Amino acid sequence: MRAPLVLASASPRRRELLAQLGVTFEVITADVPEVPQPGEPAATFARRVACDKAAMVARRCPGRCVLGADTVVVVDGEILGKPIDRADARRMLRRLSGRMHQVLTAVAFMDAAGGCDEILVESGVEFRPLSASDIEAYLDTDEPFDKAGAYGVQGYARRFVVRVDGSLSNVIGLPLDEVTDLLRRHLPATVPAP
C-alpha 68/C-alpha 83 separation (Å) is 21
Output the CA–CA distances (angstroms, integers) from residue 194 to 87, 174, 188, in the order listed: 45, 19, 12
- Nearest CA to 158 out of 143, 179, 175 is that of 143
DSSP state of 148: G
- 108 and 133 Cβ atoms separated by less than 8 Å: no
Residues marked as catalytic? 70
- Nearest CA to 92 out of 100, 107, 102, 82 is that of 82
